[in-house]
Structure 1
Amino acid sequence: MSAEDTVAVRVLLADDHPVVREGLCAILESDPGIEVVGQAGSGEEAVTLASRLLPDVVLLDLRMGGMDGVAATGHILRQAPRSKVVIVTTYEDDSDILRAVEAGAAGYLLKGSSRAELIEAVHGAARGGTVLTPSLATKLFRARAVEPTPLSARECEVLRLVSQGLTNADIGRELFIGEATVKTHLLRAFKKLEVSDRTAAVITALERGLLA
């Protein structure tokens, strides 16, 4: 066994039900290779603790009061980019799974998962793998297979001008619309193309033949 193997995976738990947190904690700490370093009762608390504790893995409930698990995932990965987030929930809706994965979650598990599945998921995520309850794999595939929402004519027009090197202000003047409106069109295009910046949006749109 290497020295790396002897280092326990540091885990942060986040769930708004104390009993659930305690149950998960008991299961995880039954494995000598896992150490629960913190527990959070909300998404906001999870973000704060993750930035301070820098855990290897964060187990997040999907639906909590205030900031939900998907929003918390984004914040955690920005503040603790080395941490891996695994969503643990009772819900298995296709859109929820896709939202979690797109937010950067390394996995999605149901609370009905076995002790062995939960422990293996933590170790797998810590190693950099993607972990998904087997019954959810088909759902994720189906969710990803949905035909992407087409860009509107105005969104294509804005991206075409972005590809020409124009700034938002330039595009606004060119199209006789406000700069804030240009930004709104871009954000909608980013969401539809599943990207997060102008360059990726233009490249993706060109690949799909939307700016021809």
Structure 2
Amino acid sequence: MNAQKRLEIFTRLRDENPAPKTELEYASPFELLVAVTLSAQATDVGVNKATRKLFPVANTPQAVYDLGVDGLKGYIKTIGLFNSKAENVHKACRLLLDLHGGEVPEDREALEALPGVGRKTANVVLNTAFGHAAMAVDTHIFRVSNRTRIAKGKTVRQVEDGLMKHVPKAFLVDAHHWLILHGRYTCKARKPECGRCLIEDLCEFNEKREYLD
């Protein structure tokens, strides 16, 4: 895919949704960190249902730590892998208190040192909470990037690096959200809705004609 096509794709996505946001509900970098940690192999809808009960009771590292692991489990037990997630969030809260004064660090290495926080979660926090040009490649972004040929790659890291290289700089901060939303609602896994796709004429997906309405 050439640079002109990429520019037009992101121009259209921006024009349709000038201020894209995550569908996870949060009111602080810490709430976002917890929500993203809980979202692994879970839906945003499911995470939001749990955090709507959790955050009014505990939404700081100290408050969540004081709940204890079992207390935290009571709020997130509807989420997949809640046992291990509760352990990780509790341990992360302790480290935030001990090493960062109870604040979420604006630093990739420090974020990835927290239990349950990998590169993707760190990228989400850096991008969404702090406005960094970071690309958190989830299953939606991986699929959209490869299908459209915006950035091809066999691994998540290859796609991330390709997007960081090829997405026009003016769109880098918001590109993560546009691509996730496009993958979630239009460029779906089993049956992409090419017939109503905003960028169908620019997309280089070879099989898209099978899905036209």
Q: Which has the larger radius of gyration?
A: 1
Q: Answer 1 or 2: higher relative contact order, Cα 8 Å, separation at least 6.
A: 2
TM-score (norm 2): 0.24
Comparing both structures, which one devotes a greater share of its residues to strand? 1
Comparing both structures, which one devotes a greater share of its residues to helix? 2
TM-score (norm 1): 0.24
